[in-house]
Amino acid sequence: MKLDVIQPDAMPPAPAGASPPLPCCAKPATGELGWQCPMHPDVTASAPGSCPVCGMDLVPIGQSTTAADDAKHARRRLVICSVLAALLMVVSMTAMAGHALGWTGGPVHWLAGTAGNWLQLVLATPIVIWGGWPILTGGWAGFRRGRPTMFSLVGLGIAVAFLASVVATLAPGMFPGAFRRHDGSVETFFESAGMIVVLVMVGQALESRARRGTGAALRSLLDLAPPTAERDPGGETVPLVQVRPGDRLRVRPGGRIPTDGTVLEGTTTCDESLLTGEPLPVPRGPGDKVLGGAINGPALVVIRADTPASDALVARIARMVREAQTRRAPIEALADRAAAIFTPAVLLVALATFLGWAWFGPEPRLALGLVSAVSVLVIACPCSLGLATPLSMTVAIGRGARGGILVRSPAALESLAATGTFAFDKTGTITRGTPRLVGWIALAPDGQPITRSAAGGGRPVPETGPERDLLRRVAAVESASEHPLARAFAAAADEAGFVLPPVTDATAVVGKGIRGRCDGAGVSVGSAGLLRDSGVSAADLEGGAIATWIAAATAMGQTIVLAAVDGRLAGGFAVADPPREEAAEVMRVLRQRGATLELLSGDTTAAAGHVGWLVGIDHASGGLSPAEKAERISALRSAGARRVTFVGDGINDAVALAAADTGIAMGSGADVAIETADITLLSGGLAAVPRALALADATMRNVWQNLLLACIYNLLALPVAAGLLYPWLGHVTSPMLAAAAMSVSSLSVIANALRLRHVPLPAVGAADGPGIRRA
């Protein structure tokens, strides 16, 4: 069985007016892949900066040397701030212990007073101003635009805690007596401000690491092609960017194919698993296409470059993945709307908390109110809510790319998971698009059948008898024809192991068939009209066993090819495009899911109906034009509440792919179909459809799990931060503990999203025999 492999030209070119594509051999430099906001992936830029929506620093879409340096700098800043925060905690805890135990002398007494506040100010200032500057500026940007974000809440909490502590240190006399300790100093919150900054930095570092991991598939694709190529003849090594279409290139055993091309010399196998997901090496010989980045097998081959490196399949896949990861799914709007309401609500809760403690709380009521208000601001930071959807989608798109499933946008995954109706094209989608011999009949001189195959389901190649000799002669004559049906006889002859006899006087008759001499006899192959012209009587053609056989085969949408030898009707052959081996099993899986199945074909109604019956599709429509397919898709969308997915591969499927909620293109299909589709299946044929569906289902489950985790966290954390447990615990929640809880909530969402990197995509194999329903 020949494996499905996407052709090098089966990916869309870069859109008009876009920047020059990145050569697949080049290591991406900063700005070439672009930068994006981790919270708003649709916000992108060509240079580092901050997000105009939330104020977060933009992160590189692909990893690069400069990006690695930035990550190293961020780690250094985190380490320095962590050391300072640890010292700050020692000083603060020592001072608290001194006050609690009443120590009045020695270093502890010094740390517990005004001097200790000054030392904490020295330690906390670089943490807040240097380490927390991105948080503060991001939070202020949200307030300035009237759209407070998660950084707005955290930044406000840090600013309130730090500024109140600075004033308490510089001018303690400005505070009411309720804030003062017995020595006249005022309690500070430097340790809370510092630890909030450090914990947010830890969360961002882990999130950044997770995002770099989700880009591994993209970076591995960019690294697939070698940086150089070897010309043939001469063996000159040149940079890959200098290779032009038409250049002859030499690929040594074990080397990587430099760019998409065609084999000119040599026979080998190629490992294309990283490109197509196909685990087994595929044979390649003269005339076969090879993919840039594939690993050459045991033999040296010479190829002709068909594309420059920047237009090779690997580069175009990378562009599609990169573009998909910058788009947003509709469900992300739900999280955005929730965050837009949630942030102002939290500000009101924090204000109400402070006023409630100030009016009704025990002494020191103002201090307790300030601590509780800051804790509310920090613990309610909607980091986890903002990460819930985009991170899951980004991880899922990377997982799909590794499995040969290219997702154009997160919206495609959301739509596919909600699909209730799957509509399929027939030729090239349900079937392989290659005609095959599926039946035959051999006649005695008196017109009685000597042997025949079962209608629509016999052996594709006769094993013995007169029909085998007839097939040998017909295949020999058809070998001189360019008609597509001739390929079916060539394949049957190859399967039977025939050595075809020579043919003389071959003459093609347009619209009817072909004649020739083989084994000393005149052989005519084609329509009934050609055989009548060759001397076969109408009675022989229209009566008896042959008429019954023709009627049965025609009812199943098969094409009839009749054969005459020396003017006598010798038999006939039925040619059809049979279903893919996995088709029936795929349909069974989709039916088990509760989906409705439709077959939309431009072929005859009989052919569409028979193929639908074979694979288990109950609703089949034939004779449809591209516009009529799109109309049927629109009607299905209007009739049901659930989404409609169309699976196709040809140029005539482009309109239907665009009309469906989700369009899925077979990777072996036409460029325009793949460019129009939302999802492209690089390998696996129809079996990749349930795999894509499994990925979509797992992604949406993960998104809802993340949203649920974020909501449960906030519902439980807000009352605790406001002081609900004070009557039982005797103390309020420290802002430092609130920051720790906020970080834990974000990490739980990140960890859950990263599970998608290893989500299993189930394999769907062939059903009974060649994947057809048995009568």
Instruction: Specify whether the CB–CB gap between 402 and 276 falls below 8 A.
Output: no
CA 754, distance to chain mean position in Å, is: 15
Sign of the CA dihedral running 659, 660, 666, 667: positive
C-alpha torsion 10→15→21→23, nearest 10: 10
Cβ-based burial of 504 (10 A; exposed 0-12, middle 13-18, buried ≥19): exposed
Q: Are strands 35-36 and 44-45 parallel, antiparallel or unpaired?
A: antiparallel
Residue pair 383/150 in contact by the 8 Å Cβ criterion: yes
Q: How far apart are CA 613 and CA 418, in angstroms?
A: 26
Q: Which residue has the tokens 């942030």?
A: 343
DSSP state of 256: B
Cα–Cα distance measured from residue 120 to residue 117, given in angstroms and rounded to the nearest whole number: 5
Distance separating alpha carbons of residues 242 and 249, to the nearest angstrom: 12
Q: How far is CA 273 from the centre of its chain?
A: 16
Radius of gyration for the chain, computed over Cα atoms and rounded to the nearest angstrom? 36
Task: Name the residue among 308, 374, 421, 444 with its Cα closest to residue 661.
Answer: 421
Q: Where are the beta strands (DSSP E) in 359-470?
A: 405-407, 419-425, 436-443, 449-452
572 touches 520 (CB < 8 A): no
Return the half-sphere exposure (C-beta side, CA atoms, 13 A cut-off) of residue 411.
15
Q: How far apart are CA 400 and CA 414, in angstroms?
A: 14
Distance between CA atoms of 764 and 365, rounded to whole angstroms? Answer: 66
Cis-peptide into 23, omega within 30 deg: no
Residues labelled catalytic: 425
Report the relative pairing of strands 228-231 and 237-239 from DSSP bridges.
Answer: antiparallel
Read out DSSP for 280-316?
A: S-EEE-TT-EE-TTPEE-SS-EEEEE-S-GGGSHHHH
Residue with tokens 């503060």: 136
Counted residue by residue, the chain has a size of 775
**CA nearest 452: which of 468, 440, 469, 462?**
440
Query: Which residue, among 420, 403, 304, 285, has the nearest Cα to 667 in the 3D structure?
Result: 403
Quick one: CA dihedral 715, 719, 721, 724, positive or negative? negative
Q: Report angle CA 42, 45, 47 to the nearest 5 degrees.
A: 150
Report the phi/psi class of residue 56: left, alpha or beta, with left for phi > 0 and alpha for psi in -120 to 50.
Answer: beta
Tokens of 267: 């026979």
What is d(CA 655, CA 423) in angstroms, rounded to the nearest whole number?
A: 13
Task: Write phi, then psi, for 227 (nearest 5 degrees).
Answer: -75, -15
Question: Which residues, other chains included, contact 723 with Cβ-Cβ below 8 Å and sequence gap of 6+?
Answer: 353, 357, 361, 368, 372, 732, 733
CB 678 within 8 A of CB 664: yes
Q: Which two tokens stand for residue 239?
A: 């940079």
